[in-house]
Structure 1
Amino acid sequence: MSPSAVIFTVLAYIAVLFVVAWFSGRRTDNAGFFTGNRRTPWYMAALAMIGAAMSGVTFISVPGSVAADSFSYMQMVAGFTVGQLIVAFGLVPMFYRLKVVSLYQYLDERFGIVSHRAGACFFILSKMLGAALRVYVVCAVMQLLVFEPCGLPFWSNAVVTVALVWLYTQQGGVKSLIWTDALKTLCLVGSLVLTIVFVARALGFDGGGLVREVSASPMSQVFFFDDPSSDRYFWKMFVAGIVVLVAMTGLDQDMMQCNLSCRTPRDARRNIILTALCQIVVILLFLVLGVLLYLYVGRAGLALPPKSDQLFSLVAVDGGLPGAVGVVFVLGLVSSTYSAAGSAMTALTTSCTVDLLDGPARYDERRLTRVRRRVHLAMAACMTLVILGVGYLADDNAINLFFRIVSYTYGPILGLFLFGIFSRCRPRDRWVPLAALAGPVLSALLQHVAADCWSYRIGFELLVYNALFVIAGLFLLSVGRKDADNVAEKS
C-alpha cells in the first residue's frame, strides 16, 4: 500500500469526521461540552460506547497477542461484563442522583476538597498516559506507512495527529463526541469484519472452514485453570476484569461522560448493558482475526515481525492481500485513534476545568468558555509531549503495557470511591493524598517481592492490591463521624 493511498484514506476519513463534528457541535454551550446537555438518546450512546471502549491499542495489539496469550483475554472480558452490570446498577444511579458534572465532585462531598482534587489529579495522570499510549501505537504505524517514506520525523507525526484531534473537539465536546464515536464504531466494526472476510478468502476458508480452523488452533484456548501463578490464570483475569472495568469505565470521566449524557438513569443502564453484550462479540472477532493472521503468515511464508503489535499492519499492508485490505485497516486504525484521543482530550479538559479550577462556580458563561478553551489547548500540548515520551517505554505488547499503567494509576481512584461508598468513616482530608500515593508504591513493592521471593507473578490483578492498600491507608487516617464534625467546627 503506497503512502499516497494511506494519505488519501486518512484525509477522506478526517473530512467526514470534521463534517459530523461540525454539524453535531455547532452552537454548543459549556453544558453541552461537559455533559451533552443530558439529552443523548440511549441507543446513540450505546452505538458510541461500543467504539469508545475500543482503541488503536485494541485494534493493533489484541490480534497479535493470540500467539503468546491465546484467547485468554476473553477471561478478562467475562469480568468486564460483570463490571458493566455493577456500573449500570450501582454507580449510574448514584451519579445521576448527585447531578455531578465531574465524577470526582463526589469525593468533595464525601471527604473534602483535597480528596476531590487528589482523585482528579490521578484521573488526569491516568488518562493522559493511557491516551498517549493509544495514540503512540497508531502514530508508530503511520510513521512506517507515511511519515518515514516522506522523510518526516516522528515528532511531526505526533503534532499533526494531536492538532487534528484538538481541532475537531475544541467546540462540541461531549455533544459532538457522541456522533463522532458512533461513526468510529461503524468504521471500526466494518473494518474488522471486512478484514476477516478477506483473510479467510485468501486462506481458502468458507464460514464453516473458518470456524473449524480457528477452533482447532492451539491459539484459541480460552480458559486457563492449571497454574495460579500464571498471568493467564482464570480467576486472576476474571476478577481483574471486573475491577478494571469498574475503575476504567465507572470511575473514569472519559467513559462515564457519555453514559451520563443520557436523559435518565434507565436510559444509561440500557446503553451500558447493550455495550457489554456487543463488546464480547467484537473482542472475540479481534481474537479470531489474530488466529487467521498467524495462519496466513505461516502459509504465505512471511517473516514474523519483531513485535506482535506489528502483525496486523504487516499482513494488511505488505502481505500480498488485495489493496482493499490495506484501506480498511487504515480506516479502522485511524477511526479508533481519533475517537479515543478526542474523548480523552474532552474528559481531561472537563476534569481540569471543573475539578482543579472550579470553573463553573467561579466564572460566568463567557469567561468559562475562554478558560475551557485554554485548558483544552494545554491538554493537547501535554498529550503531544507525553506521546513522544511514551515512545521510550513502549517495549512491550501495547495491551499489556496499557493495563500495567492502569493498574498503578487507577488504583487510588478505585480505593477512594470504594472507601467512600462502603464505609461510614471519614479520613482527615488533608492527608488523603498520602494514602493515595502509598497505594501504587506499596503495590509495586508487593509485585517485586512476590516475584523475587515466591516466584508468583502478579498480573492485571495488581489494581486490586493497589486499591486495598489505599483503603487501608484511609482507614488509618479516619476518625469517627462525631470527631470529624468537631474537627470541622473547630477549624
Structure 2
Amino acid sequence: MTPIVILTILIIYFGILIGISHFVSRKDSSNAAFFSANKNSKWYLVAFGMIGTALSGVTFISVPGEVGAPSGEQFKYFQFVLGNAVGFIITATVLLPLYYRLNLVSIYEYFEKRLGFYSYKTAAAIFLVSRTIGSAFRLYLVVIVFQRFVFDAFGIPFAVTGLISLALIYAYTYKSGLKAIIITDTLQTFFLISSVILTIIFICYSLDLNAIEAFETVKNSSYSKIFFWEDFVNSRFHFIKQFLGGMFVTIAMTGLDQDLMQKNLSCANIKDAQKNMFTFTGIFVLINIFFLGVGALLYIYADANGVSVPTDFITGKPRTDLLFPEIAFHHLALVPAIVFLLGLIAATFATTDSALTALTTSFCIDFLGMDKPENVQKTKNVKIRKIVHLIFCLIMFAVIVIFNIINDASVVSMIFKIASYTYGPLLGLFTFGMFFKSRKVHDKLVPFICLISPFITLYISNNSKTLFKGYVFDNELIIVNGLITLILLLFISFKQKIELN
C-alpha cells in the first residue's frame, strides 16, 4: 500500500470523527458535557467504547509482536490478562460504588473528603504526570509507524507528524469532550475489533487454512504456551507474578485512574456503570485472545514466506512490534492493509483522545475548582477549559519530541516504567483511605511519602537479585510500591474517627 493511499485513508477517517464531534456538540458544548457527558451515557456504548481506550496502538502492534520475541514470550501475556479481568471486577464492585456514593466528577476529590487538601492535590498531580507520560509514549510508538511507512515518503519531519496527530485529536475533542468521545470511541472500537478479526481471516486465507486448521496450527506451534509455572524466583513469566501484576496494575491504572473511570461515571447510575464494567471485561479478555492469535499467525506467515522481523533504524536490532505493519503494508493485499491501518488508528486515537479529555477534566476540577458551586455558572469556564485542553495537547507533543530526541529505546522504556511506578502511591493512598477509616494522616507529609516510595521501589527492583536471593520482579512490582506507600502512610498517621457522607 502506497503512502498516498494511507494518507487518503487518514484524512477520510478523521473527517468522519470531526463530523461526528461537530454533530454531537451542536446543542451542547458545556463543561458538564465535556466532563461527564451530562451523566446520561448509555452503558452499552461506554462498555464497547472502553475497549478502544484500554487497548492502545502499542497493544495493537506489540502484543502480537511479543508472541515470537527472542525472550520466549509466547502467550504468557494472557496470564496478565486474566489478572486484568479480576482487577476489573474488583474495580466494579469496590471502587465504583464509592465514587457514585460520593457523586464525584474527578475521582481524586475523594482524597479531599478523606485525607485532606495536600493528599488530594498529590493524587491528582500523580495522575497528570503519569497519564501524560504514558499516553505520550503510546502515541510516540505509533507515530514512529506512521513516520516510517507514510510521512518519510513526503519528507515530513517526525515533529510535524506528531503535531498533526495531536491537532487532529484536538479538533474532535475540544468542544464536547467525553460526550463526543463516547460516540467516536464506539466507532473506533468497531474498527479495532473488525481489524483484528479480519486480519486473522486474511492471514489464514494467505496460508490456505480454514478456521479449524488455523486453530490447530497455532495450538501445535512453538508460540502457543500460555501458563508458565517454572522457576518462580528467576523468571518474569511465572503465572503468579503475571496474574497478581495484572490484577493490581488494573486496579491502579483503571480503578484509580481518571481516564477510564470518567467514562464509567458518565453512566446514569451505579447499576449501569457495573453492567458496563462486567460487559467490558468479557470483551476485553476475548479480544486479547484474538490479538495473541494474530501474533502466532504473523510469525507462522513470516516463517512460511521468508519475512524477517524489521530492524530498528536507531539500534539496528530486530524490532518485533514492527512485524505486524511490515506484513500488513508490504506483503498482504490492499484490503488487508487498509483493515490493519484502520485498526491501528482506532487503537491509538481512542486511547489518546480519552487521555487528553481526562487530563483536562482532572486539571479543571482538581486544580481550578470548576465543579465548586461558586464556579459552576461562570461563563468563562468553557473558554478556560478549551485553553487547558490545548495546553495538554502541546505538553504531550513536547514529551513526544523529547522521546524522539533521546533516540534510545532503552531510555524511553525506562521512562515509561518509572511513570508506571507512580501509580503505586495511588494504590497505597486508596488502600489507606478505604481500609483504615479510623486513622488520619499528617496531610502535609503525604506529598513527600508519594515521592519517596517510587524511589524505594526502584532501588528494590534494581537490587532484587541481591536482596531476595535472585528474585526478579515484573508487573507485581506495583504491589511493592503500593505496600511501601501504605506502610509510610501508617507511620505518619494517627487515630481519629472519620465520618464520610
Sort the TM-score into its range (normalised by shorter chain): over 0.9
Match of 1:6 in 2: 6
Alpha carbons 2:47, 2:276 under 8 Å: kept: yes
Distance apart, 1:358 and its partner CA: 1.6
Distance apart, 1:167 and its partner CA: 1.3
Provide the rounded CA distance (Å) in 1 between the counterparts of 2:383 and 2:432.
36
Q: Does 1:474 align with 2:489?
A: yes
Alpha carbons 2:130, 2:420 under 8 Å: kept: no
Letter in 1 for 2:11: L
Q: Residues 394 and 130 (structure 1 numbering): CA distance in 2 closer, same or farther, change over 3 Å?
A: farther
Alpha carbons 1:403, 1:460 under 8 Å: kept: no
Bigger drift between 112-121 and 328-337 goes to: 328-337
Q: Any idea what the Cα deviations from partners look like across 1:302-321, whole Å, max 9, x if unmatched?
A: 222220110101110112x1
Q: Does 1:199 align with 2:214?
A: no
Q: Could you tell me which of 254, 258, 261 is aligned with 1:249?
A: 254
Q: Residues 211 and 394 (structure 1 numbering): CA distance in 2 closer, same or farther, change over 3 Å?
A: farther
Alpha carbons 1:38, 1:263 under 8 Å: kept: yes
Match of 1:445 in 2: 459
Computed over aligned residues only, the root mean square deviation of the Cα atoms, in angstroms, reads 1.7
Distance apart, 1:406 and its partner CA: 5.2
Match of 1:294 in 2: 299
Provide the rounded CA distance (Å) in 2 between the counterparts of 1:436 and 1:447.
17
Provide the rounded CA distance (Å) in 1 between the counterparts of 2:168 and 2:408.
23
Q: Any idea what the Cα deviations from partners look like across 1:26-82, whole Å, max 9, x if unmatched?
A: 322111111111101111111111222111011111100111311111111111111
Bigger drift between 445-454 and 224-233 goes to: 445-454
Provide the rounded CA distance (Å) in 2 between the counterparts of 1:277 and 1:338.
22
Q: Does 1:314 align with 2:326?
A: yes
Letter in 1 for 2:124: A
Letter in 1 for 2:352: A
Letter in 2 for 1:25: S
Provide the rounded CA distance (Å) in 1 between the counterparts of 2:465 and 2:401.
31
Provide the rounded CA distance (Å) in 2 between the counterparts of 1:100 and 1:367.
22
Provide the rounded CA distance (Å) in 1 between the counterparts of 2:189 and 2:99.
26
* 1:3-82 correspondence to structure 2 within 5 Å: 3-26=3-26, 27-68=28-69, 69-82=73-86
Q: Residues 394 and 481 (structure 1 numbering): CA distance in 2 closer, same or farther, change over 3 Å?
A: farther
Provide the rounded CA distance (Å) in 1 between the counterparts of 2:411 and 2:323.
11
Q: Could you tell me which of 272, 279, 282 is aligned with 1:277?
A: 282
Q: Residues 396 and 74 (structure 1 numbering): CA distance in 2 closer, same or farther, change over 3 Å?
A: farther
Q: Residues 271 and 119 (structure 1 numbering): CA distance in 2 closer, same or farther, change over 3 Å?
A: same
Match of 2:393 in 1: 380
Letter in 1 for 2:425: P
Bigger drift between 241-250 and 353-362 goes to: 353-362
- Which secondary structure does the structure 2 equivalent of 1:159 belong to? helix
Provide the rounded CA distance (Å) in 1 between the counterparts of 2:22 and 2:15.
11
Q: Residues 129 and 157 (structure 1 numbering): CA distance in 2 closer, same or farther, change over 3 Å?
A: same
Q: Could you tell me which of 160, 175, 180 is aligned with 1:176?
A: 180
Match of 1:349 in 2: 360
- Which secondary structure does the structure 1 equivalent of 2:371 belong to? helix
Bigger drift between 334-343 and 136-145 goes to: 334-343
Q: Does 1:215 align with 2:209?
A: no
Q: Does 1:190 align with 2:194?
A: yes
User: Comparing both structures, which one devotes a greater share of its residues to helix?
Assistant: 1
Query: Unmatched 5+ residue regions in structure 2?
Result: 311-317
Q: Residues 234 and 206 (structure 1 numbering): CA distance in 2 closer, same or farther, change over 3 Å?
A: same
* 1:81-480 correspondence to structure 2 within 5 Å: 81-228=85-232, 229-305=234-310, 306-319=318-331, 321-361=332-372, 363=375, 364-391=377-404, 392=406, 395=409, 404-405=417-418, 407-424=420-437, 425-452=439-466, 454-480=469-495
Letter in 1 for 2:489: L
- Which secondary structure does the structure 1 equivalent of 2:156 belong to? coil
Distance apart, 1:137 and its partner CA: 1.3
Q: Residues 336 and 262 (structure 1 numbering): CA distance in 2 closer, same or farther, change over 3 Å?
A: same
Provide the rounded CA distance (Å) in 1 between the counterparts of 2:387 and 2:40.
26
- Which secondary structure does the structure 2 equivalent of 1:157 belong to? helix
Provide the rounded CA distance (Å) in 1 between the counterparts of 2:221 and 2:448.
49
Match of 1:489 in 2: none
Query: Unmatched 5+ residue regions in structure 1?
Result: 486-491
Distance apart, 1:218 and its partner CA: 1.9
Distance apart, 1:359 and its partner CA: 2.5
Provide the rounded CA distance (Å) in 2 between the counterparts of 1:273 and 1:188.
20
Alpha carbons 2:133, 2:416 under 8 Å: kept: no
Provide the rounded CA distance (Å) in 2 between the counterparts of 1:125 and 1:404.
13
Bigger drift between 356-365 and 367-376 goes to: 356-365
Distance apart, 1:261 and its partner CA: 0.6
Alpha carbons 1:231, 1:457 under 8 Å: kept: yes
Letter in 1 for 2:435: F
Distance apart, 1:252 and its partner CA: 0.7
Q: Number of paired residues?
A: 482
Provide the rounded CA distance (Å) in 2 between the counterparts of 1:452 and 1:8.
55
Distance apart, 1:24 and its partner CA: 2.1
Identity of aligned residues (%): 37
